[in-house]
Structure 1
């Protein structure tokens, strides 16, 4: 019992310290995942904790379990609409992107490390894929809002590229250990099996779990356990059948998350904590596995590998992969830069160790060091690079909080909280009068909270700065209502005018009429087209909010889109006139 208590005390202490360190992470601008990793290293055999832990099989088990939970959570939070603009680009990066990066990095590693090409390619394959845990965590906590094309491409790529990375690592291990059995047809069959079974099992498993979630009546806390246990079953069963469990569990989460029901919010709240626990536990264990002095021995090799990966191999593979999709140059550069490495390369590096590949400890140490450099350099610059490369769009006007209350099997009520800011249109208005003016009969005021107490409204009630107002309203009114509570009167014409332009224009108006009104020229065959149609034709790719099109000295910008991918609002920025002296 003493040893069990000591183990529980140690595990709890490490997690406790890691969570407290998260406040330091925000101040220093370091990725939280990196701090979990450092806490594990400090507790290890050469750190202050002095814990000797070389159980790579346990590390592999914890890593796979944690990654399954993280991918499930990532799928649950991915909206199916993101596939409209990013499915094919992300699919290319999840396949060719990994292969191209591996080949380029493998050639460089062969020269740098002076090892056989097969061992160098194995190392390149280990670090060749982006990491879902790192990408999901850092993008969603970066504090900036990326345009949907970039964000969706990065998230879908990281959730879907593990099968290719695992295949390449498996292939290279087999080439090293059993070269006579290696053949191209066998590897092609293995890839088709991995991707095909993974996709089939993921969609089928997700459909079953979604049906169960909608039909069963359970205690609130059990819904998330149902999804987690079901997701792990899908993961394990797919792996046992020879498919990609990582792809399967991500797709299962995607299906469940997009078939919303009365239990979806319960699942998402609990899954958020479980995903953080999985990330913290995984990086702590991986940190315990490494020996810092070994990292220092290979530090220059790892630094050179990381620099080549970040500055040459990944950018070149991404540029070639995205050529057919007409991404803007700044978008390609940002996607290239946010090729974050995390737990996946470290877990993959354990596989050669367990299989007895010669020099596999070198692979593990170099891969670990590459991950640290990636998180330290790329992870810490995710928001800065986004602003510098111009892939950020202004934040949406959103409620302070929102809740989804299900009143039947297929009917839900959206409750949204807004806070009255100084100078807002809501200030000094009766809540019912304000809601009627802004939303007609589509919204209702449910409650007003003032100084932490529920306010009983009357005909004389007027909203004051700092009041919290709870409204029942459909999701499409969330932003328009938010502007009524925002400071500066929430004027739609001046909100983010520097980005979207000074004027709001109807995307369905004939392009020729707008050109005649403002004095810019279009091609003759564009005059009769709707403005949105002309914009799409010139852009050459599915538009997203924030896309810009220059017509002479004028700039058209997509201000808003609906869930079907149609442009609903556009902004027009006029040229700056020279000042007259």
Structure 2
């Protein structure tokens, strides 16, 4: 019963930590690790018998813990592989490419030598530590970027580095670990060492490749019912991991990583659904792993770190990271302020902790006589020090640092339009002609195809879907216009994006009921003075064909325009010093140099009478 209570506690605390991270906009790993450390080694200072309140070893012990962590890390690395699309690498800027080249080399070599001389670790273990701290990951970088909102050049570089370095860094860490595991240091010949090493690598790549193409074949041929596809994908990942381990010890991690990379780069039916499902699974595994693994750390291990560990931390963030960024941005056009900021932001993430925990479990098991167990025990607390230190320090200081360096992004002017119908496409065309970024979101295939034909970026799915933030790049987007034919969806869209954009930047169409009851006061978010609902607007758009733009320096000019059109206009935008302001319920204060963008209001009843 004790183990059951601890497992239930971990699951409940995991959900609470994820919610708290979302609420205060910080990477989820921070509250997860804090909870694990507080209830694990931290609790020994307060309990009567000096035991931990929560200890992962009481839930999973011995081989069972090793199996759970191994499979969980395999699934997480599969997710990392799914984010690595080769076509995106080819089209990325040289800075990102350089960071993916210089960053791992400098961190691996510099971190390895620093750990060797400062912590007294032998070269194999110190370079394993250097490999583990290569990874960053979108789970820690994205919340920081969303909070700081640096300029678009910095944002793109850090975002893509975070996405691509995760599977790349994990792969390097696996390779270094495979080398340690397959090395026979007592043997005078190195031929057998490299033979086993490449056999492990080849086994992992072979099994991962076969599993990926077999899963693709099953999906393409519709051999799996739709309700089993996500479960089958997860089952194939676990099967690939286990079978690769059967062929060659420690080939499992490489097989799942390679399987993810292949699936990300071949056409796979309903890959988005698999991606969505694996995200849910990964969130559960990541949450449980962080609390579970951080609770396993002992106070004695933390006490062994000492001052040299802090010096090592300083070398990683103040020397190695800036050196990698400086080499990567030479002759790239980035100014010194941008280089300094990118040098400061390089938090370590989930894969580092999970892989470090897995390797530490095996290296401290005593199976290898040539591995110094006392030194191997330092890998896990050192890695957690890097994770907690970078997330707290960089997460807390990135925003004021960006403000000090003046690299914050200007207020985003782009529009996210819910709906890709004819009304939305009409407005999107006008906005695009004004040089404004536009993203349309719709579930209708017909609307999606027509919007793409017109050259718009389209999100295929509901504006209310859980993965909209992950799949859409909203860094240039600051305004929402809910333009669907459903008043309910429009209202929910505003609630969904109020926190992201602000309530004064989210707008919706007037509903039919609001049109029929003019005595009800419209809310401030209603578009175009509340003059039209979806159908009225569609009729007017069909008649107008294009937007009308007139000078409007004051209210007298506006009233004159209304008089010319017999008060039958739909005011849409105020153009003020090349900036677009959406006209909602209340008219703006027009000033000198302003222009009004509008279309004539097509009154169906009047037209039919005239006919």
Alignment TM-score > 0.5, same fold: yes
- Output the CA distance in 2 between the equivalents of 1:486 and 1:16: 51
> Which of the residues 265, 269, 288 maps onto 1:281?
288
Partner in structure 1 of residue 135 of structure 2: 130
Shift of 1:226: 1.8
* Partner residue of 1:7 out of 3, 6, 10: 3
Which consecutive residues of structure 1, in runs of 5 or more, have no partner in the other structure? Answer: 419-423, 432-444, 473-480, 497-581
Alignment partner, residue 108 of structure 1: 114
Question: Residue 398 in 1 paired to residue 406 in 2?
Answer: no
Corresponding residue for residue 53 of structure 2:
50
Equivalent residue for 1:371? 387
Does the 8 A contact of 2:148 with 2:402 survive in 1? no
Q: Secondary structure at the match of 2:486?
A: strand
Query: CA 1:289/1:159 → structure 2, altered by over 3 Å: closer, same or farther?
Result: same
The answer for the alignment partner of 1:160 in structure 2 is 168
Q: Max radius of gyration: which structure?
A: 2
Work out whether residues 54 and 295 of structure 2, in 8 Å CA contact, stay in contact via their aligned partners in 1. Answer: yes
Q: Distance in 2 between matches of 1:208 and 1:345?
A: 31
**CA pair 361-57 structure 1, distance change in 2 beyond 3 A:** farther
Q: Residues 194 and 97 from structure 1, CA distance in 2 versus in 1: closer, same or farther, beyond 3 angstroms?
A: farther
2:138, 2:300 → 1: CA distance? Answer: 26
Show the counterpart of 2:256. Answer: 249
Q: Give 1:346's match in structure 2, choosing from 326, 346, 357.
A: 357
Contact residue 105 and residue 124 of structure 1 kept, 8 A? yes
Change beyond 3 A, Cα 1:392–1:124? farther
Q: 2:91 aligns with which of 80, 85, 88?
A: 85
Other-structure match for 2:76: 70
Q: Which residue of the partner structure matches residue 447 of structure 1?
A: 486
Matches within 5 A, 1:195-234: 202=208, 204-216=210-222, 220-234=226-240
Q: Equivalent residue of 2:91, what SS? A: helix
| Contact 1:338/1:382, CA 8 A, preserved across alignment | no
The answer on whether the counterparts of 1:334 and 1:385 sit within 8 Å (CA) in structure 2 is no
Report what 1:362 is aligned to.
Answer: 378
- When the two structures are aligned, how many residues end up with a matched partner? 455
Q: In structure 2, do the counterparts of structure 1 residues 194 and 323 end up closer, same or farther at CA, with 3 Å as the change threshold?
A: farther
The Cα of 1:33 is off from its aligned counterpart by 0.8
Q: Deviations over 1:13-49 (max 9, x none)?
A: 2221232234443566643112112222233265265
- Map of 1:432-443 to 2, 5 A cutoff? none
* Structure 1 residue 293 displacement after superposition: 4.7
Shift in CA distance, 38/492, structure 1 to aligned 2, threshold 3 Å: same
Task: Give, in whole Å, the separation in 1 of the partners of 2:251 and 2:329.
Answer: 25
> In 1, Cα distance between the equivalents of 2:571 and 2:75?
38
1:179-208 CA-to-partner distances (Å, cap 9, x unmatched) read 54574x777667766666656654554343
Structure 1 contact 318–335 (Cα < 8 Å) conserved? yes
Shift of 1:333: 5.6
Structure 2 residues without counterparts, runs of 5 or longer? 420-440, 451-457, 465-478, 493-508, 528-532, 539-546, 548-569, 582-611
**Map of 1:306 onto structure 2:** 313
Question: 1:41, 1:83 → 2: CA distance?
Answer: 38
Label 1:371 to 1:228 Cα distance change in 2 as closer, same or farther (>3 A).
Answer: same
TM-score normalised by length of structure 1: 0.62
Query: For the Cα contact (< 8 Å) 2:100–2:165, is it kept in 1?
Result: yes
- State how far apart, in whole Å, the 1-side matches of 2:200 and 2:96 are: 18
Deviation at 1:11, TM superposition (A): 1.8
- Secondary structure, counterpart of 2:381 in structure 1: helix
1:263 correspondence with 2:264: no
CA contact (8 A) 1:89 1:153 kept: no
Check 1:112–1:334 CA distance in 2 against 1; reply closer, same or farther (3 A cut).
Answer: same
Bigger RCO of structures 1 and 2 (CA < 8 A, at least 6 apart): 1
Closer, same or farther: CA 202–263 of 1 in aligned 2, 3 Å: same
- Alpha-carbon RMSD across the aligned residues, in angstroms, is 5.0
Q: Following TM superposition, by how much is the alpha carbon of 1:283 offset from its aligned partner in structure 2, in angstroms?
A: 0.5
